[in-house]
Amino acid sequence: MIEVRPFGSLGRFQNDWLSARHHFSFGEYHDPARMGFGRLRVWNDDEIGPGKGFDPHPHRDMEIVTYVRQGAITHRDSLGNEGRTEAGDVQVMHAGTGIVHAEYNREDTPTRLFQIWILPDRRGAAPGWGTREFPKANGGLSVLASGRAQDAGGEALPLNADAAVLAGTLRAGETVRHALAPGRGAYLVPASGAVEVNGVTVATRDGAAVSDEGELTIKAVDDTELVLVEVAN
C-alpha cells in the first residue's frame, strides 16, 4: 500500500524567519491520523532565514537526523559538540538521557533541510552527536544513517534504532529498487523533482508512506533528489 501525502496537505508553521511543513503532528499542528509511521515520529521540511535559528532547547530519548538540502546548519550542544553541516550532508543527534542544543543558519542565504525524528529502540542511551560528508549516489541510494544490523561497521552514521535513512539522486528515467522485508515500511520524500513508486506518482516534497510492499521500484519522472527512511512498522 502506498499513501501519498501531498505537500499542500501538510501541517505548516510560519514566522518571520522560519517556514516549516510537517509531515506528522508537531507543535501546534495535530492530526490524529498523522502521528507517525512505525518508529518514524517527525519529518519537518524547514526553511530557515539567514542569520536565524533555534535557540538552546532540550531533547531526550529520540534519534534526530538532519539532512541539509540547501545552505548549511551550525550545531552546538551541551556536550561541547559544535559543527557545520552543508547541503547534501547529514548529522545525527542521539538525545538519549538528555541533551540541550542550538541550531543556526550562519549563512547569507536561506537554509533548507529535512529534520527527521526516530524513536529509539531503548530509552536512556548515552547522548551524542555526529556529522559526516556524504557524496550523493548518482543512480542509487546511499545509506546515510542506520541502526540496521546489516549496516553495522559501514560508513553510515549510527542510530540507536532499527531504522535507516537513505538518500540519492536520479536522472529523469532512471530507476532504483529498494527491498523491504516483511514487517518493514518506508516513508520517502522527493526533495526535488518527481518519482513514480510502484507506479504511483509522488511529486516534489510530497510524502509517501509505503507498507506491505516487498520491493519498491522508484522511477525518476524528472531529475530528482530523494530521501527515504526505512523503519519497522
Q: Which domains does the chain have, with CATH numbers?
A: 2-232 (2.60.120.10)
Pick from 67, 36, 209, 229: nearest CA to 148: 229
How many CA atoms are closer than 13 Å to the CA of 43, on its beta-carbon side?
28
Q: How many CB atoms lie within 10 A of CB 82?
A: 12
The pLDDT score that the predictor gives to residue 55 is 97
The pLDDT score that the predictor gives to residue 3 is 98
Determine which helix (DSSP H) or strand (DSSP E) holds 167, and give its type and residue range: strand 163-170
Region 21-39: mean pLDDT is 96
Residue whose grid cell is 556524504: 134
The pLDDT score that the predictor gives to residue 136 is 65
| pLDDT grade for 140, boundaries at 50, 70 and 90 | confident
Task: Tell me the pTM.
Answer: 0.96
How is residue 7 annotated by DSSP? G
The pLDDT score that the predictor gives to residue 133 is 87
Q: How many CB atoms lie within 10 A of CB 225?
A: 20
Q: Is residue 191 helix, strand or coil?
A: strand
Region 77-94: mean pLDDT is 96
Pick from 14, 18, 22: nearest CA to 52: 18
The pLDDT score that the predictor gives to residue 233 is 81
Q: What angle do CA 113, 115, 119 make, to 5 degrees?
A: 165
The pLDDT score that the predictor gives to residue 137 is 62
139, pLDDT greater than 90: no
Handedness of CA 91, 215, 221, 10 (dihedral sign): negative
174, pLDDT greater than 90: yes
| pLDDT grade for 68, boundaries at 50, 70 and 90 | very high
Task: Give per-residue pLDDT as tens, 193-214.
Answer: 999 999 999 999 999 999 999 9
Q: Determine what percent of the chain is predicted with pLDDT higher than 90.
A: 94
